[in-house]
A and B are shown apart, each in its own frame.
Chain A
Amino acid sequence: MVTSVTSLGRSGLYDWLLQRVSAVVLLAWFVCIGGTILGAPELTFVYWKSVFSGTAMRIFTLLALVSLFAHAWVGMWSVVTDYLTERMMGPRAVVLRLTVQVVCVIVLFSYVVWGVQILWGN
């Protein structure tokens, strides 16, 4: 058993499942947005605003944002624990790894808050 406190769910299975489910949500959202763009009679700000003023679309978009947060956390965590390791670069790896992980989480969290602001803003 290899433990880790920086992975999203602390469990390999949880992270794996979350990444699969979030990938499906993101795919569905992108298909929906693609359809919205292609099906638009004319792509204007008014039309775009009306699309995102519906509660269902807001919930779906927020779900996609949260999915992106989870998906990217799991993915970036995998990348940094592959390449930024003590085996690859010596003892300084732990500082660099932790820093990159924290920066990733802050950036992702900011995207979610920013997304909420856009969705529910005027």
Chain B
Amino acid sequence: MLRVSLYRYNPEVDDEPYMQDIEFDTGGKDLMVLDVLEMIKGDDPSLAFRRSCREGVCGSDGLNINGKNGLACITPLSEVVKKGALVVRPLPGLPVVRDLVVDMTLFYQQYEKVQPYLINNTPPPAIERLQSPEEREKLDGLYECILCACCSTSCPSFWWNPDRFIGPAGLLQAYRFLADSRDTATDERLARLDDPFSVFRCHGIQNCVAVCPKGLNPTRAIGHIRNMLLQRAT
């Protein structure tokens, strides 16, 4: 039997959040955490959580599972359960809408700040803007981000300053466009980042690297941004 502890909060009914303990029979199978949540929801439809693709592509079901952020759909119980207990909480640092669902507005606002799209005002060629294989290679490890928010919500700097620090997810995308040979707004992008909060709140503790379900390295991308800022200013 698995002892499941779920963070529950319905602002229309509850005065404050509480943990609901449930005894769950896995049938001896190594289920994914999402499977467990789905089965519990089968018995109790009032449980709220986000999910969509259930295969680690959409990034909807980012949760805090036994103290570590991850995607419930690709996290097997064998990887996280210790002493027969599974504790599931919403992503830390963001306001809870209900149960395991958080309000991602702050996260998206930071993402929006980095202008996550190609800026190039030169006349477009007839077919497409070409890149060499080497130039394209620079985007590997950056474009794969699915914006699940596991990294940013595991970052203490983002917890304290979610309105001023862009956070690992946003900064990974900032570098994705700084590194793109087709983008011509490098200077403008760097100028927007050179303040004491947007980039420099990162103290390199690498929580983001430890939790990224896609195996990406935002800390390295942030280091590249710092180097670009340094190159531009010295």
Contacts and interface: CB of A to CB of B under 8 A. Distances in A.
B160 A2 contact: no
A7 B161 contact: no
Contact residue range for chain A?
20 to 34
Interface residues of B, number: 23
A15 B198 contact: no
A37 B156 CA distance: 40
Contacts of A82: 156-157, 160-161
A20 to B, nearest CB: 10
Given A13-B233, A16-B226, A17-B230, A4 B161 contact: no
A51 B233 CA distance: 39
A74 to B, nearest CB: 9
A59 to B, nearest CB: 24
B164 interface: yes
Contacts of A17: 230
B164 to A, nearest CB: 5
B219 to A, nearest CB: 14
Interface string B159-184: 01111100000000000000000000
B161 A12 contact: no
A12 B197 contact: yes
B161 A85 contact: yes
Contacts of A30: none
Interface in A73-122: 77-78, 81-83, 85, 87-88
Nearest to A10: B196
Nearest to B156: A82
Given A13-B233, A16-B226, A2 B196 contact: yes
Interface of A: 1-4, 7, 10-13, 15-17, 77-78, 81-83, 85, 87-88
